[in-house]
Amino acid sequence: MSATTSPLKSATGDQTHQPGPRIPAELLSLSMPIRYADAWELQLRLHRERVTDTRPDTILALEHRPVYTVGRLTRAEDWGGDPAALHRGGIEVQHVNRGGSVTYHGPGQLVLYPILRLAEHRIGVRANVERLEEVVLRCLRQQGITGHRKVNAPGVWVADPHEAKIASLGIRVDRGVTLHGIALNVEMDLSPFRSITPCGLQGCQITSMSEVLGKSVAIDQVKRSLLGHLQALFTLDWTSSPEMTHLHDRNTLS
């Protein structure tokens, strides 16, 4: 899906964003799950280069190997406070500098890390979060799923067959450039979420697109949809980078 030049509307039909000039960007899309530590190292490098204006806005699209990420607002009771206990299931634990609490990432979950200079998009942090949620809402709707937002709970939720979170969102802005991003549960093992209090929300249920639809969902198809809506809403004009091949090689060897 390519960017559109017509006014964009929200999931409720309200006009929310009038596209401006297309902004140059670079897309790094990985097809193999990668360790969180390797992805974080890459994020930091890309962020430094964006801060110094030696690269354009960059979108990193990937899946992670199994990992719990513990955000700055995580309470000990949300994950037990013992990395060794969680790691006994073969799942890594990483403390991260984003806001929010603890969550899980793993194969079958599509993660986008948009590394954007917000000033070029003429938006603030709140508008950036809302626009990323809108990206997910449009992608879900395209697949036949109705999602919604919740007040004071960033991310995207579904109500059918029961209210559950289907996508998580965590953002950090450093020197005007964003880090972290969105994670959409496509078709994945949801059992690791049962060992934590996802996002620090008591009683929070987690679901996936395949669970909601009751059928298998191709993650490559969802990736194309999600990236297409992100490209449209942020009016990005991107190229793919050969760096993704180098990272695949490193990931295979690690």
Active site residues: 199
d(CA 189, CA 78): 20
In sequence order, the 6+-apart residues with CB closer than 8 A to the CB of 116 are: 50, 57, 128, 177, 178, 234
Range 90-125 burial, b when 16+ CB lie within 10 A, else e:
ebbbbebebebbbbbbbebbbbbbbbbbbebbebee
| Count of all residues that appear for the chain in the document | 254
d(CA 67, CA 93): 6
Task: Name the amino acid, one letter, at 235.
Answer: T
For 182-196, the DSSP string reads EEEESS---GGGGGS
Tokens 């609490």 belong to 101
Task: For the beta carbon of residue 221, count every other beta carbon within 10 angstroms.
Answer: 12
Helix, strand, coil shares of the chain, percent, nearest 5, are: 35, 30, 35
Task: For the beta carbon of residue 152, count every other beta carbon within 10 angstroms.
Answer: 5
d(CA 128, CA 173): 10
